[in-house]
Structures are given as structure tokens and as C-alpha cells.
Amino acid sequence: MFYEQRMSVPDSPADLRAEYEDDLTSIVERRDPSAVAAETDIEQDALEALAAGDSPSLTLEEAAEIQALKDDEPEPETIVTMALEHLLLGMSTAVLDVDAVESHLEIDMDPKEIQQKIEQRAPMSFEEFVHVQYVIADSAP
């Protein structure tokens, strides 16, 4: 699950995202995209794309809404909080600041933006989350 503490990652951010999307896709397929759309704030087109094996643009909150539909999962808000707290914990473990994270990112985000997103002062896409998590976990001792 994407909100758990990561100490290792696959070979690339794309591989990490694919791992998470496999989990989210299985939830959407089990419940049906139209049912998930009715239970969440996510567009049915995005859910159908996910079920079809595509990588739709999702926010971290939307990924959490999907994850929360699985049995015995926390509420979406709790999932988001846990995911972001694990990023902060990972930064401490790897002894990284936002400048160090930014220097290893494969996407364009500046240190201030990274900090704001981790602190929930700005919205974070699932893609951004995966990239930041990848850098942090890949830098862990």
C-alpha cells in the first residue's frame, strides 16, 4: 500500500507507480468503476482508464479514496496523513532536506513546493507523491 513506510523501491519511479496502480486497479476492478465513481469524488473516466491499465492523472487524495474502499483500510484522510508522515519520517531516516530531494527528482518541483505539498499546504498529485517517495526510499540507508 502506498501509504506505508518504504525502505526500498523498485528500479524507477515508473515501476513504483505501476506497483501501486496494480493495487488500486484490483480494488476498482473488484468493485466496478461505476460503483467506485459513485462512492468517491473520482471521475468515472479516470477509474475506467485505471481498470484498462492506463495511468490516469490522480491526486494523492483520490488514490487514498480508492485505497480506503478495500476492507480494513483507514479513511482516505487518514491514509493521506499517514503517507505524508511517512515521507517526513523517511527524510529524517535518510537525512534529506527538501533541497536534497529536489536534486534527485525526475520531475520539476522546487524545494519550496515539495515542502508545501508534504505539509499539506498545497495539493499533491499521485505522480508527485510517487516521485518524492521514490527519492526518499532510494536514499535510505
What is the extent of the structural domain holding 19? 13-73
Q: Per-residue pLDDT averaged across 74-89, rounded? A: 97
Domain tally for the chain? 2
Whether 69 and 17 share a structural domain? yes
Residue 116 clears pLDDT 90, i.e. is over it: yes
Whether 104 and 119 share a structural domain? yes
Flag whether 4 is in a domain. no
pLDDT > 70 in the chain, percent: 100
Q: What do you get for the CA distance between the two ends of the chain, in Å?
A: 21
Q: Return the pLDDT at 141.
A: 86
Whether 68 and 96 share a structural domain? no
Whether 69 and 83 share a structural domain? no
The DSSP bridge partners found for residue 59 are 125
Q: Is 17 exposed, middle or buried (0-12, 13-18, 19+ CB in 10 A)?
A: buried
pTM greater than the 0.85 cutoff: yes
Q: Per-residue pLDDT averaged across 99-127, rounded? A: 97
Q: Is the separation of the CB atoms in 102 and 117 below 8 Å? A: no
Q: Which of 132, 141, 140 is nearest to 13 (CA)?
A: 132
Whether 55 and 90 share a structural domain? no
